[in-house]
Structure 1
Amino acid sequence: MTPVPSHTLNDGRPIPSIGLGTAPMDDEQSETAVAEALRLGYRLIDTGAAYGNETGVGRGIARSGVPRAEVSVVTKLPGRHHGYEETFASFEESRRRLGVEYIDLYLIHWPLPRLDKYVDSWKAMTRLRKEGRVRSIGVSNFLPRHLERLVDETGVVPAVNQIEGHPQFPQHELRAVHTKFGIQTMCYSPLGRGTGLLDAPDIVAVARAHGVTPAQVVLRWHVQLGAVPLPRASSPRHQLHNLAVFEFTLTDEELARIDSALDHRRIGFDPETHEEF
């Protein structure tokens, strides 16, 4: 298996270029999936307080036998805990559930613009990073105006913005903003989450040309665009297949073909209106 390369975040810290998504696994499922994934070579594990599986993820990390220092753990601040002091308390709850002394990447899960407390939470997260309780800080589902406000009001640029991203919703405009600020794009639902993306004739044709699966083609598309995909996979077979995306390369023509395989549309919640509490 080709080793998983890393990206360097804008704070100088490395992050693996593919990770394991765990939503909507429960504690038992995530413990098994995480332990197996780490044994197979994954080093980036994504969870969130809202997923309800941080305890299982933590158990999986401990059960894997992989040294803690080699694992990048991502979790997220839930909407119900937005606010300066609330963020510190929520962080400690997540840290205890995960059973770790620090969190590698801590994200604000949703901006919740109606609540209008995400800047307060961001200020708390910058303090958590300064104190060493968090290695890197970032956001999830933030739109350009949310990112610009954080930078304008605090001077601190998020290391990561985790967004819905796949060929049906490539988010090229938002990715361009990420490039402008030096923010790493991280993608959930990278395979389109049951929308028929993997059956698209253009993607199937590219997969056949390389002797790989359609899922591997789509994950390679992410990798070559510079994003970090977070495919959810509970079976060791699928986990191994996802790691094999570093063993082939797509041409520019194939990348464009994948990008236009289906009409573009969001399949998840809209950050302008979604209120996750």
Structure 2
Amino acid sequence: MKYAKLSQTEDLMPTLGLGTWQAPPEVIETTVYKALDLGYRHIDTAFNYNNEEAIGNAIKRWIQDGKGTRKDLFITTKLPHVGNRAADVKRFLHLQLGRLQMDYVDLYLIHVPFGFRCDPDTLTPLVKENGDYDIDMETDHISTWKAMEECQREGLIRNLGLSNFNETQILKIINSATIKPQVLQVELHAYFQQLDLRKFCMEHEIVVTAYAPLGSPGAKEHFVNKYNYSPDVFPDLLGHPEVKDIARNHGKTPAQVLLRFLVQQKVIVIPKSTSDHRLKENSDIYDFELLPAEINRLKKLDKGEDSRVFNFLFWKGVEKHPEYPFKLQTVDTSKD
């Protein structure tokens, strides 16, 4: 395993982690245990994934079985959109720590820069009669960040970060922070390489984590069935001729090449899988190195903003939030 050193704390963050979005509790508990046995030490979850409790169960059992300690692990979770306000930070964090059965998390991220009003009974976003989400238009990143800093000082969080924020939003927090953002988690893959954002992060000593590093093939069915997206919206990186050719050159799989492409450029990756075979495959990326010419071939696959999959427009009305982070695209994502 390779590591990235985080600014300010100098904590070591494994460059490979296990993503757990769309992994139901009854599946993820077994998956996390198997991943830990395979050598994974970095687990990424979130309140919105509804699987923190199962992940906590798996980690507790793994430790009780004598296979490692809490200090061996790097656990990331995230403040949800329904708790994106200073008054709710500690409340949600304590709830999440309870579910994870931990005294602290290694990294706590603001999951998205916008906020929704919360149903107090279900802890899910309130929805208006017209189907729009009940948006909290007063989302204040600075006050929320200050509340997270307080939790860090209390020992509940080791490191602080952001997810899905743009440069302007990040810079605003940097200029007001005592503890500056240490990690930014964003969608990032060969079709959507986010070079300007990565350069910005490097200049500010922010480590970048790529979610959907394989183009999120697992999201396709979810978005097509639940949100009526067109299947054509989703990239097929694993089947791209350039990727397959480079994989053949190294005796590796396309997935391993795509992950190595990012890790070799100092990007942390958190591919999600519940398959034993894929878990092993995704972890075997440290015994080969892509040549400069191969890196350049993959860099040419970048299609920019048009290849963003996760624009969050499936949350109806979210683009009206003053902190919606992305430029709106005119591409029609719906099926005919």
When the two structures are superposed, what TM-score results if normalisation uses the length of structure 2?
0.78
Matches of 1:236 and 1:7, distance apart in 2: 26
Deviation at 1:60, TM superposition (A): 1.4
Q: How does 1:83-94 map to 2 (within 5 A)?
A: 83-94=85-96
Deviation string 1:137-178 (CA, Å, 9 cap, x unpaired) is: 111111100110001122432110000000011000100110
Matches of 2:182 and 2:50, distance apart in 1: 24
| Equivalence for 1:20 | 18
Unaligned runs of 5+ in 1: none
Find out whether 1:240 has 2:285 as its counterpart. no
Q: Do 1:79 and 1:109's aligned partners in 2 also have CA atoms closer than 8 Å?
A: yes
Matches of 1:120 and 1:158, distance apart in 2: 14
Q: How does 1:172-211 map to 2 (within 5 A)?
A: 172-194=195-217, 195-211=235-251
Farther off after superposition, 247-256 or 107-116: 107-116
When the two structures are superposed, what TM-score results if normalisation uses the length of structure 1?
0.94
Q: Do 1:184 and 1:227's aligned partners in 2 also have CA atoms closer than 8 Å?
A: yes
Q: How does 1:219-238 map to 2 (within 5 A)?
A: 219-238=259-278
Q: Percent identity?
A: 33
Matches of 2:101 and 2:177, distance apart in 1: 30
Deviation string 1:199-244 (CA, Å, 9 cap, x unpaired) is: 0000000000000000000000010110100000112211111111
Deviation at 1:256, TM superposition (A): 1.4
Matches of 2:320 and 2:159, distance apart in 1: 25
Q: Do 1:161 and 1:186's aligned partners in 2 also have CA atoms closer than 8 Å?
A: yes
Matches of 2:154 and 2:110, distance apart in 1: 18
**How many residues get paired?**
273
- Counterpart among 37, 40, 43 of residue 38 in structure 2: 40
| Equivalence for 1:167 | 190
Tell me: higher relative CO, structure 1 or 2? Use CA pairs within 8 A at least 6 residues apart: 1
- Counterpart among 294, 309, 333 of residue 267 in structure 1: 309
Deviation string 1:237-271 (CA, Å, 9 cap, x unpaired) is: 11111111001000111111112236341011269
Q: Do 1:200 and 1:262's aligned partners in 2 also have CA atoms closer than 8 Å?
A: no
Q: Do 1:15 and 1:44's aligned partners in 2 also have CA atoms closer than 8 Å?
A: yes
Deviation string 1:116-144 (CA, Å, 9 cap, x unpaired) is: 32221111111111111111111111110
Matches of 2:288 and 2:104, distance apart in 1: 35
Matches of 1:101 and 1:184, distance apart in 2: 24
The CA RMSD over aligned residues, in Å, is 1.7
Deviation string 1:19-56 (CA, Å, 9 cap, x unpaired) is: 00000111111111111000110000000001111001
Deviation at 1:185, TM superposition (A): 0.2
| Structure having the higher Rg | 2
CA separation of 1:174/1:26 partners in 2, compared to 1, >3 Å: closer, same or farther? same
| Equivalence for 1:132 | 155
Matches of 2:253 and 2:45, distance apart in 1: 26
Find out whether 1:5 has 2:6 as its counterpart. no
| Equivalence for 2:50 | 52
Give secondary structure in 2 for the equivalent of 1:149: helix
Matches of 1:274 and 1:172, distance apart in 2: 27
Q: Do 2:15 and 2:268's aligned partners in 1 also have CA atoms closer than 8 Å?
A: yes
